[in-house]
Amino acid sequence: MSPWIFFRNALALGALMTLLAPLRGEGGVSVSVMLQWVPQAQFAGFYVAQDRGFYARRGLDVRLVHGGPHRDSARALETGEVDFSTLFLATALVQRDRGVPLVNVAQLVQRSSLVLVGREDREVRSPRDLAGRRVSLWGDAFEAPYRAFFDILAISVDAVPQHRSVNLFLRGGVDACCAMYYNEYHAIWQAGLDEDQIEPFFLRDWGLDFPEDGLYTLASTATRSPDLARNIAEGTLEGWRFAQASPDVALDLVMRRAEDAGIPANRPHMAWMLTHILPAIFPDDGGSDSPGKLSREAYLRTARILERHGIIRHIDPFESFTLDGVSRVP
């Protein structure tokens, strides 16, 4: 699909979305943001930005809502339920390929933390040992990197759904499970399995170091309200910088959000999560990635891998995928 046809369709959708445009309330412009999973330290920067007034000082009244295993943040954004949403880059590329006019407003997580965790007692010692085995996998919104991983290995697995927990893996119901290194991998440790009882396979070691959490909106919002989008991005990044400088304060907010939502959470696990996600947001490896910015190289590398493995059919120009590029389209 050419970028100009894409934006023609996006602008046609804009007439409808005008009815759903952010409204100015007493506290500023009312904006809704869906965070793609349940309350946890993965979203600490958003909680800080809201609590410390980083959004408010930019004239924004931000409502944070959460997705989860049965609430798809990409779908919520597409239907206008929310104005902005967090998504993995691979997920956003799949949605664009399906015709959803998503635009990257900020790329928060620059590195991949995706892991497949195998059980040593099932003799899973290398990724190819997973051929034909029962593996629990996350659903549509998170599956693209794993599909590419199995394609690279030229294996197929007996996939079963994985929802919020890794309990099926812990009970021995599957031979391997999906995990984020900063989340489920540590939860498996906390549940009592030692390092020598599990085998982690990092997708980044197989050329799948895809950027993960980004902040997205529809093209109609990006073209109509680019300053609004930039303010959301800047306030969120300020929240993450505060979380980096004051992790204990950020963890207090995380624990409060989890408690308010009735989500079981323990502070040591949330501290592990925050400690291990921050380097992916603020990489210090000498690379060219800037906090909050999606690089052309990372975009094209991810898109080309997904295209090569038949997960997407075409690659849109980088400029049509980013806020800076879209806001310059006449």
pLDDT tens, per residue, the chain with 330 residues: 444 444 444 444 443 343 334 545 456 899 999 999 999 999 999 999 999 999 999 999 999 999 987 889 999 999 999 999 999 999 999 999 999 999 999 999 999 999 999 999 999 999 999 999 999 998 876 889 999 999 999 999 999 999 878 999 999 999 999 999 999 999 998 899 988 899 999 999 999 999 999 999 999 999 999 999 999 999 999 999 999 999 999 999 999 999 999 998 999 999 999 999 999 999 986 444 589 999 999 999 999 999 999 999 999 999 999 999 987 755
Model pTM? Answer: 0.89
- The per-residue pLDDT for 28 is 85
User: What three-state secondary structure class fits 85?
Assistant: strand
Domains and CATH numbers, the chain: 3-111+210-326 (3.40.190.10), 114-206 (3.40.190.10)
- The per-residue pLDDT for 26 is 54
E strands in the chain:
24-25, 28-35, 60-66, 84-88, 102-107, 114-119, 134-137, 158-161, 176-180, 198-202, 213-218
In whole angstroms, what is the distance from residue 73 CA to residue 80 CA?
11
In whole angstroms, what is the distance from residue 109 CA to residue 116 CA?
19
In whole angstroms, what is the distance from residue 256 CA to residue 271 CA?
14
